[in-house]
A and B are shown apart, each in its own frame.
Chain A
Amino acid sequence: MNEKKMRQNKLQITIIFIVILLITYLSAAITNFNFLDSVLTIPEAIGWMVSNLMITSETLDRMPSIMDKLLETVFMSIAATTFAAVISLFLALLGSQTTKVNNFFSVLARFIASFSRNIPVVAWSLILLISFGQNSMTGFLALFVGTLGFLTRAFIESIDEANQSSVEALTATGATYFHIVNKAVIPQSLPQMLSWILFMVETNIRSATLVGILTGTGIGAMFDLYYKSMNYQVVALITITIVVTVILIELLSNQIRRVIL
């Protein structure tokens, strides 16, 4: 019986594997993607990178202005995330099964969350670009909207996971809604929520570069500028500073997480 089941499992895995291979082959054929050709271009590409992306002392002169833009981008990401976090908290309290006020607001909050989450941040940038034009407000809003949806959903899960039983108990003591939310739900879920906020700050600093290219703000705009003027040394320098910043922020938030959880 057991052996039969194991053999069945093996068969299943083999079939799945073959199907994946088939799909890969088909997609490559349909999109004219030739694996061998692309592999052959790799050495050439690396050669190009080495010769064109060298950072010289001349490019280092641009460091102050790069740092300036980088800081602007980091702060924009943090601001967009914290603003979104505040609104998300309210939406999550309304949307959660444990703390909802009524079904109408619960559905509405969930709808807003899934609407803003399911449109990629790039699409948001382009949509907002039409109405707000190329300025930092557009970049901020694009990050804000995407974050709002994600954090609302994450907060709803944190609340539902941690609080059902204590909310029931406090309701039974005659506590009011605000007592329960302030003195039980938020203290219990706050570390989890902060952790999500930190995660979103990291993500947003990464996407801020892309959003910046589209909306002409921050480090993204600078990247775009030098890229288009074919000054690839500076492009390389910008890329490296972004990578270093993201890594630093990640280390920092891991540290914070360790303290609060």
Chain B
Amino acid sequence: MSLLQVEGLGKYYNQQTKVLKDINFEVESGEFISIIGPSGAGKSSLLRCINRMVDISEGHVVFDGEDVGSMKKSELRRLRTNIGMIFQHYNLVPRLTVIENVLHGRFGYKSTLQGVLGRFTEDEKEKAFELLGKLGIADHAYKRCDQLSGGQQQRVGICRALIQEPKLILCDEPIASLDPNSSKIIMDYLRKITNEMGITCLVNLHQVDVAKEYADRIIGLNKGEIVFDGPSNMLYEDRIESIYGIQKRELITV
């Protein structure tokens, strides 16, 4: 059975505009998928329906055999521990240290009291340092996050997601605020996560060339509908046009 099934998913924030319409796709464990599409196509909304950061209006999202839409509060917590999320603006707590921010990823496994008291086991701390080492930022463990560069902060964000021991990681434009060099580092790490740890990645991107380079499979969204779903090497020029609209063609190649 596949890790994630999206069946007839529809999303609207208000009655007038439907942001997502009848979205259907399946994700197998270990896939690295990129979602592309013009601004406002509904990429962020799609990711947020998967971990129910926004409510699902129509259809079903089934993760690991369980229906996400009908989950109650405690089930939802358990679901979210299994799904990591990475953001364009890193979304760390800037005044806290790197290691504290990484350990925040363990809250999903803690009771309210344990979490409030900040009780973390030795194993958890060791794991946090190990991850920081893997991402090459162990030296910064005790620095405040706001003293780090964008690329370094995003690596802290990745550590925070990984320490959750997730089955799936959702990345909402992880490199949109980074320079090309840092972008490459982050994308390489994300790819490594899938290759070496077998964690499935769903990555929203707005650079088609990056998507084609890293992803096995690309899903193209336009106005809330899937207009392409297939292997990256099948994404020919004409399909890119159908995703972005013809007038966008010059913009992409610049």
Q: In the bound complex, do residue B115 and residue A174 qualify as a contact, i.e. CB atoms below 8 Å apart? A: no
Q: In the bound complex, do residue A183 and residue B87 qualify as a contact, i.e. CB atoms below 8 Å apart? A: no
Given contacts A173-B80, A173-B160, contact A183 B118 (CB under 8 A): yes
The yes or no answer to B249 lying at the interface (CB within 8 A) is no
A162 to B157, CA, bound (A): 17
What chain B residues lie within 8 Å of A165 (beta carbons)?
A: 87, 89-91
Q: In the bound complex, do residue B80 and residue A172 qualify as a contact, i.e. CB atoms below 8 Å apart? A: yes
A178 to B116, CA, bound (A): 7
Q: Which of A174-224 contact B (CB under 8 A)?
A: 174-176, 178-180, 182-184, 187-188, 191
Binds A, one of B22-30, B58-66, B101-109, B202-210: B101-109
Q: In the bound complex, do residue A169 and residue B115 qualify as a contact, i.e. CB atoms below 8 Å apart? A: no
Given contacts A169-B160, A171-B53, A183-B107, contact A176 B77 (CB under 8 A): yes
What chain B residues lie within 8 Å of A162 (beta carbons)?
A: 94
What chain B residues lie within 8 Å of A175 (beta carbons)?
A: 104, 107-108, 115
Interface of A is mostly: helix
The yes or no answer to A53 lying at the interface (CB within 8 A) is no
Task: Give the distance to chain B from A170, nearest Cβ to Cβ, in Å.
Answer: 6
Q: In the bound complex, do residue A174 and residue B94 qualify as a contact, i.e. CB atoms below 8 Å apart? A: no
The yes or no answer to A168 lying at the interface (CB within 8 A) is yes
What chain A residues lie within 8 Å of B109 (beta carbons)?
A: 174
Q: In the bound complex, do residue A187 and residue B53 qualify as a contact, i.e. CB atoms below 8 Å apart? A: no
Size category, B interface? 35 or more
Among B53, B107, B161, B164, contact of A176 (Cβ-Cβ < 8 Å): B107
What chain A residues lie within 8 Å of B107 (beta carbons)?
A: 170, 173-176, 179-180, 183
A219 to B91, CA, bound (A): 49
A174 to B161, CA, bound (A): 11
Further contacts, 17 of them, CB under 8 A, given A182-B115, A184-B96: A165-B87, A165-B89, A165-B90, A168-B53, A172-B84, A172-B85, A173-B107, A173-B108, A173-B161, A173-B164, A175-B107, A175-B108, A176-B112, A179-B107, A183-B118, A184-B93, A188-B93
Residues of chain A at the chain B interface (Cβ within 8 Å):
162, 165-166, 168-176, 178-180, 182-184, 187-188, 191
Top-4 shortest CB links A-B: A174-B108, A175-B107, A169-B91, A174-B80
